[in-house]
């Protein structure tokens, strides 16, 4: 479906509905949820997603799975074209999609299926070509490999406050002592509590958070050297080594796909998500609210 009728996905009894939307740089959707799970594919541009439990970065040509009813915010980091597969909870559970947010690699087959699925109306027969296409798409989505582009957010208020401050200005130069001071804790208490509430050490978390920032910057066309310097790496080669170890490819090649996910600004007019006025969810009676996006922070 096109952006003009993409609110119809809430009203259909079909398992999967696919929409395409274009968004402007900086467009922000504050905390909201959907009655269906959302497989959001960044056909071009970079998306960041935040929930109470963490932050994710979605580079071009990758996707994020957001389960049904999970409150989340989305921020467009540059012009974005997004293809969304909205999947009813029962179908998501049947194929084994996770109950938490997850960034996925996206195969050429899934990309083509998403493009074809846009042509399918919100209501389609349970038998026939459209149903087979959507069924194949669902199973292929469930088989995509996960990508580690997440910085978990601790629930402990002092740690969360310190982590939010770090995410606003990520740098490898910020050490444990500085974070402990931000959290008003001793170094020993901070390290123990951080691992308890995130499941990883602060050094691991810092590396992951800097990687998220790097993906956003690289996706918006910044040179590798500038990104490495801004994030506090000693040299561009040190940054490239860490990047390749975690994501499997050098940063200079990460966005080197022939269709490298760069959006033309003409593809991203301002847009909005209107609240559903007559909800009739797919095999579910749970209500959800979709907030309108706020203006770009000034």
- Give the residue-averaged pLDDT of 204-221: 92
When pLDDT is cut at 50, 70 and 90, the band that residue 293 belongs to is very low
Residues 113 and 216 in one domain: no
CA 221 to chain centre: 19
Half-sphere exposure of 120 (CA within 13 A, CB side): 28
When pLDDT is cut at 50, 70 and 90, the band that residue 247 belongs to is confident
When pLDDT is cut at 50, 70 and 90, the band that residue 284 belongs to is very low
Residue 9 in any domain: the answer is yes
Residues 157 and 45 in one domain: no
pLDDT score of 285 more than 90: no
pLDDT of residue 269: 34
pLDDT score of 280 more than 90: no
Residues 117 and 75 in one domain: yes
Structure-token pair, residue 3: 């952006």
When pLDDT is cut at 50, 70 and 90, the band that residue 33 belongs to is very high
pLDDT score of 201 more than 90: yes
When pLDDT is cut at 50, 70 and 90, the band that residue 57 belongs to is very high
pLDDT of residue 281: 30
Percent of residues, the chain, with pLDDT higher than 90:
69
Residue 287 in any domain: the answer is no
When pLDDT is cut at 50, 70 and 90, the band that residue 263 belongs to is low
Residues 7 and 58 in one domain: yes
How would DSSP label each residue in 145-198?
PEE--EEEPPSSHHHHHHHHHHHHS--TT--HHHHHHHTT--HHHHHHHHHHHH
User: Domain boundary at 105, 130, 148, which?
Assistant: 148
Give the count of domains, the chain: 2
Instruction: Give me the domain span that covers residue 216.
Output: 153-254
When pLDDT is cut at 50, 70 and 90, the band that residue 264 belongs to is very low
- Give the residue-averaged pLDDT of 64-89: 95
Residues 132 and 26 in one domain: yes
pLDDT of residue 235: 94
Residues 131 and 173 in one domain: no
Residue 120 in any domain: the answer is yes
Residues 136 and 208 in one domain: no
Residues 160 and 208 in one domain: yes
Residues 220 and 137 in one domain: no
Please name which of 37, 84, 35 lies closest in space to residue 58, comparing C-alpha atoms: 84
Residue 189 in any domain: the answer is yes
- Give the residue-averaged pLDDT of 185-203: 96
Q: Please, what is the Cα angle at 44 between 42 and 46, to 5 degrees?
A: 65
pLDDT of residue 245: 87
pLDDT of residue 237: 94
We report the CATH number of the domain holding residue 120 as: 2.60.120.810
Query: What are the tens digits of pLDDT across the range 109-166?
Result: 999 999 999 999 888 888 899 999 999 999 999 999 998 889 999 999 999 999 999 9
User: Domain boundary at 109, 126, 148, which?
Assistant: 148
Calculate the average pLDDT of the chain. Answer: 84
């Amino acid at each position: 479906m096109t952006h003009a009728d993409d609110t119809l996905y809430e009203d259909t009894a079909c398992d999967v509905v696919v929409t395409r939307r274009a968004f402007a740089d900086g467009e922000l959707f504050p905390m909201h949820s959907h009655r269906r799970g959302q497989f959001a594919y960044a056909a071009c541009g970079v998306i960041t997603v935040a929930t109470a439990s963490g932050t994710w970065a979605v580079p071009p040509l990758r996707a994020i799975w957001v389960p049904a009813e999970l409150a989340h915010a989305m921020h467009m980091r540059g012009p974005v074209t997004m293809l969304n597969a909205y999947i009813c909870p029962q179908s998501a559970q049947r194929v084994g999609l996770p109950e938490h947010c997850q960034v996925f690699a996206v195969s050429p087959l899934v990309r083509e299926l998403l493009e074809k699925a846009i042509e399918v109306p919100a209501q389609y027969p349970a038998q026939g070509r459209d149903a087979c296409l959507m069924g194949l798409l669902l199973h292929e989505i469930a088989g995509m490999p996960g990508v580690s582009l997440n910085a978990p957010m601790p629930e402990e208020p002092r740690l969360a406050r310190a982590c939010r401050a770090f995410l606003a200005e990520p740098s490898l130069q910020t050490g444990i002592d500085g974070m402990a001071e931000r959290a008003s804790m001793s170094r020993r208490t901070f390290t123990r509590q951080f691992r308890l509430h995130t499941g990883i050490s602060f050094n691991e978390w810092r590396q992951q958070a800097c990687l998220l920032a790097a993906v956003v910057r690289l996706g918006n066309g910044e040179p590798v050297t500038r990104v490495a310097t801004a994030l506090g790496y000693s040299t561009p080669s040190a940054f490239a080594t860490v990047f390749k170890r975690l994501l499997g490819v050098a940063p200079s090649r990460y966005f080197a796909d022939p269709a490298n996910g760069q959006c033309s600004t003409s593809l991203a007019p301002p847009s909005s998500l209107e609240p559903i006025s007559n909800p009739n969810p797919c095999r579910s009676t749970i209500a959800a609210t979709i907030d309108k996006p706020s203006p770009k922070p000034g």
